[in-house]
Structures are given as C-alpha cells and as structure tokens.
Homo-oligomer: A and B are copies of this chain.
Amino acid sequence: MNRVLWMLVLVGSGSYPSDGYCVEPTSRFAIAIHGGAGRATSSGEDQQKVLRQALTTGVEMLEAGQSSLDTVETVIRILEDSPHFNAGKGAVFNAQGTHELDATIMDGRDRSTGAVGGITTAKNPISLARKVMTDTRHVLLVAEGADKFAEQYAEDPRIQLVPNEYFSTELRKEQYERIKAQRKQADRDSMGTVGCVVLDIHGNLAAGTSTGGLSNKTFGRLGDSPIAGAGTYADNATCAVSCTGIGEDFIRNAVAYDISARMAYRQESLESAIADILSNKEHPVRGGIIAVNLLGDIVMQFNTDGMSRAAADSTGRLEIH
C-alpha cells in the first residue's frame, strides 16, 4: 500500500488522536491516583482516608487553575508523608534493613522529566525528582550522588532531609523480619507504590510515581518507578501514565511509553492500549496502571487481585477504591 492510501486510512479512521483535538473535552480537568497494586482486593480504611485527602487537595488545586505538574507533586507528597503507602514514610525495608526510595515526575508539555533512584535522605523523593528536572541537565540521579544533590537544597522547605529511620514503620519492620525469617527473596506482592496522573484546565498532562521498591529487595535494585518510559510517562500528544507492580516487567516492555506509542502510532484508545498490555501472554506485565488523556478520560486497570486507587474530574466524578 502506498503512503497516500495510508494517510487516507489514518484520516478516515475516526480514531484518537485525529478526533481528540476536534471534539469538546469531556472534562475541564481530571486526576487519578494509585496506591499500588497487589494481593489486597481494595485499599484499607487508612489508605482510603489518605487517598480521599490527596484527591480532594488535587481537585481544589485544579479548580483553582493550578498546573498538572504542581498538582502531581503536591498529591504525591501527601501520599509520601502518610505511613500507609510504600513511598516516603512507610517505605519498605531493603535486604540490608534500610530504605532506598525512587521517584519520577514528567511534564507532558515537552516530555521534560526528572527522577531519583536509591535515595536515602530526602523526605519527599517526588520533589527531589522535580529538582533534577528543573535544576540540572540530567534526568536521573541515583544513590549517594543523588543524596549529595539533595544536600544543596538545605534552605528549600520542599526538600527536607531526614535520617533514614524516619521512613521506618512498625508494620514494615514486621514485614521485613517475616520475609527475612522465611529466607524469601524480595517480596513481589507488597502493595503501596504511589502515583498520580493529571490533566489540568490549561490542557497540560503530567505524571509522577514514588516508591520504596520491593520489600527485602537486593541493595541497589532499581525498578520502573525512577525510569521515564517504564513506570511513568507524560506527553500532551497522547496521555499521562503511572504504573505499579513488578518493575522488571514494566522496564523490559517500556510499558508507560508503549501506551503513548500505541495511541500515537496505532490510534488505539487509552483504554484498549492498557487492556492489551495487561492481558499480553507473550510479554506479561504484572501490576496496575493509571492514565489520563487530553479528553480527561481516566483509565485505571490492573491484573493483580486489586489496586488501591482514586479518581475525580470536573464533571463531579469522585471515587475511591
């Protein structure tokens, strides 16, 4: 088939993104949050309370016209500050009995992104990831070098430094001891990675993800959360995505970017792109995904037993699972 025919096919296909820019948006803004996918079929009462608080804050910010990027950062900070998720306070222990945290933030306007991996002292990894995006020419800083980078923000209230024990909670300590006693490897079923995707009233998308990784993980292991394209992606032309689950699956299949690519190159809808990835037998991807497109359509899917999640938009939708 020649190029002209292809063009006709694309133009005539009545599918996203051809229409996406022609029809009225379904919402002025939209926001989705996840608190990790895993064995539990729904989030506990404690998690739901924090999800509600985070969602309400996000909605207020968006109603006030604040940016998707600011909203993503603020919402994730709330989840990081709560002990009920595996991000910031409440992060799991690694095999060494300490905490290593990862986070990424991405701006759909120009694909600019920043991430930190294996950090040990920044109270809010998502805010340090944003500093990497705005203040350096880099996109990913890890381990000791990233901790050193954090030190230069001693005066910045958003980059508070804490002793590593700050992140510990009794629950995570028990989980760590239990897994250690069973001599199991990293626990792949611990829920609690957090993420947020937002469409703001200015028509901009943003995404962010933050995690403590796998419980009892090998020291130095990075999953998909600090990798733009794997666990997080945002592009105004397609969608904003945040993933949770077996990080290795999301890296080797470049899942977050793949959703964007399927929309851009194959005119798949956000929903069918995600459904296809999560049901793929040849290249299994185990976990959950939240995403939003420029129309304000929210998709939250998972192939685990459950995913802690919440969503709201300017039509009044507000749900917490």
Contact = CB atoms under 8 A, between A and B. Distances in A.
A149 interface: yes
A202 interface: no
Contacts of A257: 229, 254, 257-258, 261
Interface string A75-115: 00000000000000000000000000000001000011100
A220 B141 contact: yes
Interface string A176-194: 0000000001100000000
Interface in A127-155: 136-149
A38 B78 CA distance: 44
A171 to B, nearest CB: 24
Contact of A220 (B144, B229, B265): B144
Contacts of A146: 220
Contacts of A141: 218, 220-222
A265 to B, nearest CB: 4
A218 to B, nearest CB: 6
A275 B291 CA distance: 30
A145 to B, nearest CB: 2
Contact of A143 (B14, B139, B142, B266): B142
A254 B228 contact: yes
A187 to B, nearest CB: 11
A49 B247 CA distance: 40
Interface of A: 1, 6, 9, 12-15, 106, 111-113, 117-118, 136-149, 185-186, 217-223, 227-230, 233, 247-248, 251-254, 257-258, 261-262, 265-266, 283
Given A112-B252, A257-B258, 20 more contacts: A1-B12, A1-B14, A106-B252, A111-B253, A136-B218, A137-B185, A139-B248, A139-B251, A140-B227, A141-B222, A143-B144, A143-B145, A145-B218, A145-B221, A147-B220, A227-B229, A229-B229, A254-B257, A261-B261, A266-B266
6 contacts: A111-B283, A137-B185, A138-B217, A144-B220, A145-B219, A261-B261
Closest 6 CB pairs of A and B: A145-B220, A229-B254, A143-B143, A145-B219, A254-B257, A265-B265
